[in-house]
Amino acid sequence: MTTTAESHDDTRGILYVGGAYAFWGFVPLYWWFLKDVPPFEITLHRILWCALVGLIVTAGRGRMSRFISVLRTARVMGALMISSILITTNWTIYVYCVDSQRLLEASMGYYMTPLVSIGLGIVLLGEKISRVRAAAIALASVAVAVQALSLGHFPWIAPALALTFGFYGYVRKLTPVDSLDGLTIETCLLLPLTVPLIAMWGVQGSGAFPSPVLSRDAFLIGTGPLTAVPLVLFAAGARRIRLTTLGFLQYFSPTITLLVATLILGEPFTRTNMVTFGLVWAALLLVGLEGRLGAWRRRLA
């Protein structure tokens, strides 16, 4: 017997997941208000306040016993340490993109993430690859090459974001832990580094927190719920909709980011951007149509 999520989409599920991706798409505007704070320092505050919010929510959900049992599982904790490093690196690069006005490259990175996930499945999980998916990966590779020729150097931002998030998804896929519990543990694992650095900078007066400008302190503290809220929405919605619908909605976020970069933050959309994004979009279209192409071939046979 199929579940609701498998047979049809719950409207609430679409709204929850769509809301999460919209949230993530507009997040660059939040980082823009903190553009005078170094990206790494923003990441440290995001870790600190996300850990505190996560612990409060975990206690409120009555999951502390489950949370503690995960802490006692060495294999799971080892995997979460790796995933915490990956997601921290991803966060720092993303904030750097906003700070350096390279948000278009970040948007491309998240468009490329599904293709990276396909590659990881082939290399690490031994999954078979179809000709259509091989062509999609080839198109994405050409896009990187075109951008490299245009810039005169390797365009590291988009591949770095796609690889760190792709590997993060791979590690979390193999780690049996609730999404919010996992994020809370990931951030708590980094508190021994985060808390001393923030405290030291605060005492020396060289850090962004505490600040005479209360709005800055509020924005830094707000990075905690900013991280946790969309994840809770995503987790609640993902259980209520089909995987194919989830796959379609994931492009909502980088599309919003692309629009924010060009229409609000004023980044130029050049001819090279048109070519590289066009190649990546074509690759994603191939992957999306793969099932239908197979059905058409069977009908014609």
Q: Give how far Cα 158 sits from Cα of 59, 240, 286, Å.
A: 37, 31, 20
pLDDT tens track for 276-298: 888 888 887 877 776 666 656 66
For helices 64-71 and 39-60, give the axis angle rounded to 10 degrees. Answer: 120
pTM here? 0.80
Quick one: DSSP state of residue 72?
A: T
Q: State the pLDDT at residue 185.
A: 92
- Taking the chain (301 residues) in runs of 10, the rounded mean pLDDT of each run is 50 84 90 89 93 90 87 91 92 91 88 80 76 81 81 81 87 82 90 93 85 87 88 74 67 87 89 86 78 62 57
DSSP codes, 34-68 = TTTS-HHHHHHHHHHHHHHHHHHHHHHTT-HHHHH
Asked whether 222 and 120 are in contact (CB, 8 A), the reply is: no
Other Cβ atoms within 10 Å of 238 Cβ, number = 18
